[in-house]
Amino acid sequence: MRAILVCLIVLWVVIPEEAFAEGYLVISGGSGENGAPHLTFELQNISTDIDYNSLFSLGVVIIFNADNIPSGTLEYPVPHSDYKSIGMKQKGNEFGILGKYGLDVGKRFFVFGLTGLSIVEEIELVQSNVTAWYYEQSSKTTLNGLYGVGLAFIPTEGRIFLEAGYDNRRSVTGSIGYRW
């Protein structure tokens, strides 16, 4: 697995030079609709010197949802039948991968679409009517689709660029990239 990752990174650095492209390391962040901060690390290529410029990116997403459950929740089912269900709650952070593709719409402004997947653990939270303690009645791993759109600006001078986007899992995201 490590060898595959190293090969992909080497290709990501070599291909931009051969494809008349600029390679960028991108860091994104923001705060979602539920107030959960998020962080994304991406490797991004922007093709240049061809009929049209395009943007392509692969990234890893971390959404710091933390536990959406009360502290002191017991990690096993309630031992009796006198309880009420609170509902499904997210437990822990959410992790994912994403890909972007965009086209230059003029003066190095890009419009892009993004897609990906994220994974998170969800539990059925219940509360005992006898003790008022919270219990993790059941749990499951959920795979969520990730999709969105955004705008990027890549100045011709300098080594940085700026990006803003919106997607269904992270909400509004701001990015800054550095060309290697």
**Cβ(112)–Cβ(165) under 8 Å?**
yes
Mean of pLDDT values over 49-62 = 83
b (16+ CB within 10 A) / e for 21-54: bbbbebebebebeeebebebebbbbbbbeeeebb
Report, in angstroms and rounded to the nearest whole number, the Rg of the chain calculated over CA atoms.
21
Q: How many domains does the chain divide into? A: 1
Q: Tens digit of pLDDT for each residue in 83-97?
A: 999 999 988 889 999
The encoded tokens of residue 60 equal 């890893």
| Residue-wise pLDDT tens digits, 108-151 | 789 999 999 999 999 999 999 999 999 999 999 999 999 999 99
CATH number at residue 143: 2.40.160.20
Q: What pLDDT, on the 0 to 100 scale, is given for residue 177?
A: 87
| 67 pLDDT more than 70 | no
Residue span of the structural domain in which 112 resides? 2-179
Give 163's pLDDT tier (boundaries 50, 70, 90). very high
Q: Please give the full DSSP string across 57-105, using - where no structure is assigned.
A: EEEEEEE-----S-TT-BSS--SSS-EEEEEEEEEEEEEEEEEEEEEEE
